[in-house]
Amino acid sequence: MNDDSVYDGLLGGDDSQWAFGTDFEDPLAGVDTTLPEGVDGAALAAYCLMLGDDALVLSHRLSEWCSNAPDLEEDIALANVALDLLGQARLLLARAAAADPSVVPVLPEGSPVPPEDALAFFRDQDAFRNVRLVEGDRGDFAVTTVRLLVASTWRLALMQRLATSRDAVLSAIAAKAVKELAYHRDHAARWVVTLGSGTEESRRRTEAALATVWPLRWELDRTHEVERTLAADGVAVDPADVAAEVDVLLDQVLAAAGLEVPEVKRTGGLGGRTGRDGVHTEALGKVLAEMQSVARAHPAGRW
């Protein structure tokens, strides 16, 4: 797999500005997209949307720090993390579309919008499958740091196992993502230790951030039926299988920061349904309204 293929469309050509239809290379070019034997395409697409939406929404939240971070170096660091996640999202959404084209929103005939962009910009809130932990308001820097620590620790553990998936595409995506996520986790962990063991104010804010993020931590460990089925087929990873490892790693970081896991009540779902089922917080609607506004206003935009 060409690690740079998702960015090739930005290079070369005569387009000094672009929207849709400027001949981006297929992000899955050169990868065997044949479904593994016995695997249901709809289930695989649903799983890819889960992981892809996690990355897409968290990427958008992190990008909100551009020009707003505590210092210039951190501004660039968070932007790079956001770009890594956006790249993962593009690959996963493209895989979802290839596995089950019916998940792609119907657009006017001849639309220049590629499938992965259609999934990002033209789905409604209840069609998104991200966990609710990634969609909350940006909050202060401590909230962003704690959220990134939890999300990246979990996602790295998952991707390390997903690299052996029977699906060639997921395996390739995971192998690339592991390198990125190792940095994300390390960066967030260093900041949590710095903030937790810093000034009285930084510690107070970090404790408040833990109380904000932790009520949704449990949703990462909840096994959806799609995950259970595909894990049994050797394609996906059951999140319950990485829960203990993630807990140990998070405990180590908090201990180094002199912090404790907060005793907070879980944020419940709706009739047992959560983000993986399309049940979200109000915050996601605001994120999508901003993220999708230009695409929806100009669905055939070319310039």
- Over the stretch 111-142, which tens digit does the pLDDT of each residue have? 788 999 999 999 999 999 999 999 999 999 99
DSSP state of 126: G
Q: Is 80 exceeded by the pLDDT of residue 16?
A: no
What confidence tens digit (pLDDT) does each residue in 273-288 have?
999 999 999 999 999 9
How much is the pLDDT for 107? Answer: 86
Q: The tokens 């579309």 sit on which residue?
A: 97
Average pLDDT taken over every residue of the chain? 89
DSSP state of 102: G
Residue 286 phi, psi dihedral angles, 5° rounding: -70, -40
* C-beta separation of 81 from 184 below 8 A: yes
Note the pTM of the prediction, 2 decimals. 0.89
Q: Is 60 exceeded by the pLDDT of residue 143?
A: yes
| Ranges of each domain in the chain | 39-297
How much is the pLDDT for 74? Answer: 84
CA distance 232 to 243: 17
- CATH label, 39-297, candidates 3.10.105.10, 1.10.645.10, 1.20.1260.10, 3.30.390.50: 1.20.1260.10
Report, as an integer, the average pLDDT of 212-223. 96
What confidence tens digit (pLDDT) does each residue in 151-201 have?
999 999 999 999 999 999 999 999 999 999 999 999 999 999 999 999 999
Report, as an integer, the average pLDDT of 88-100. 96
Q: The tokens 């900041």 sit on which residue?
A: 191
